[in-house]
Structure 1
Amino acid sequence: MTLTQLSAFVFVARLGSVKAAARALGVSEPAVSQALGALRQRFGDPLVTRGGDGMTLTEGGRRLLGIAAQMVALGAEAEAAVRSGRPERLHLVVGSELGEFVAGPLGLAYAARRAIEVTSGVATSGEMPLLLSARLADVALGPPLSGSGLVCEPVLRCRMIAVGAPGGRRDTWLVDPSGTDPGSDAARLLRRLRIPEDRVRVFANQAVAWDAAADGAGVAPAVGHLVTPRLRRGDLTVVETAATPMDACWYASTLVRTRRSGAAGSLLDFLTTPPATQVMLSPAAGVPRARFRPTVRVSIWD
């Protein structure tokens, strides 16, 4: 029995599917299934079974879940203790839109003020609490999170708007993957407008969705200050709706003070400073484009 196997079990149990667990852990679905199979063989119990509403825990699985979650967290604490004295590292998880525009410049701006390695990855609002609790991430930036042992602080207030091409279609909504995350601001806007699923098209990222909107294919939700450069260029214009502009806020979530890493506490402090606010408001101006780094999904998978 390994921490890898226990991590797979915890994430499948909490997220409700092998696919979601694999995505959160940054591994393949067969790898998660193999880890589950090893645990099932060891304990002689299915642990989780597939039903009409997703994965259901057996009695044995329910008893194992709390213990397994603690063991995964302790394993991460042990790794952190062994690494004590080495250069600090910080793992930041964000929603897809922040991952596309903000995470890289923000991480570089923070690292420039402190000798620390910053990596980032994209996660859904449902995955973020698990990644924090399992210490696979130090800080989550995005929607407000709740859960035992977590704290959540607002860091930037913003507004959601709708954008499209002058004369473009208004019956189709164009979203990045965050539009399918129930906890995201984009999804919240779609719910307020009561947009049915068959009128929503999902694109690989926000820039592609905005490109489609600029081509007249539909309307796209957008964080107002992030889409401002496109509005200034004139290829997109603000589309009036019954729910926009909609107030929104980005939150930083971490473990409670007694359990969070020093790097997490330091980033929380940095997020309240004017330089951090400036990067979040104008990420393209915060760091030279040549220094952008791709986001990296965080995992303890071996």
Structure 2
Amino acid sequence: MRRLASPLVVALAVLAGCSSAPPRPVDEVPLNHLPALAGDYFQLDSRHVGRGFHIYVRLPEGYDPAAATLYPTVYLTDGDSLFPILAANHLFLTYDDGLPEAIVVGVAYGGFDPSVNRRNIDFQSPGAGVTDAQAGAEEFQRFLKTELIPQVERRYRSDPSRRVLFGQSRGGAFVLYSAVTDPDLFWGRIASNPSITPGAESLLEPAAPASRRDLALVLTSGTRDRPDLQREAALWISTWTARPERPWRLFGPRIEGGTHAANASDAYRMGMNWLFDTDAAP
């Protein structure tokens, strides 16, 4: 009598058959199968930073590259984690809050492992106890200014007058560094629960001159964030509120019940609605 193949043998045969499937075309962007994240992806090697980045781009609903419409463009630090959350959520903010559609750009490392993810260097501003090798914020900002932003504005219908920078934790500290050292680079900035120590000294120095008079900055702080980070945020807000010569409008809301990382979407929503002065603005 012929013996039937065991379930394990059958399963292995099925898997072996699956392995012969043709590879996905390299020019296909998998995120295009997720409508709220549909857009583009490219890799960009930085001569300033000396490393490469994965760049994810979410394009607005109904985006037409041949149309004359230009869109605000939001640049996200920590794109590995923030891009899939905030880029998709932007669509719902246009539905519910009347927020303008935008191009959303996630600057990603390709992983969380320290051998790949160098946010501890790229977002670090100079300060007491910080060596030159540790403080990479200046080079990272040069990468954004001279390499990434020109690429984005060549490839897509991006409005140079309405760039927004969003960062969380150390990424939020980099947002503040950018605001102080190169105010004109971004029209709007949102720092969510920034972790500004070490390097706080350079974030409290007088700001570089700005040519624009419509710049704005949001610093959100969660009431359940670490107490030391809440104190740092309060110090930064109070210091700059007392300086009428600051180059940007300043808004420093608290997020009731907000923790350090889990409320990044609330910070984005609150900050973007305030920047664009929607009906949902706090």
Instruction: State the structure with bigger RCO (CA 8 A, min sep 6), 1 or 2.
Output: 1
Indicate whether the TM-score tops 0.5: no
Structure 1 or 2, whichever has the larger Rg, is 2
Question: Which structure features the higher share of helix residues?
Answer: 1
TM-score (normalizing by structure 1)? 0.30
TM-score (normalizing by structure 2)? 0.31
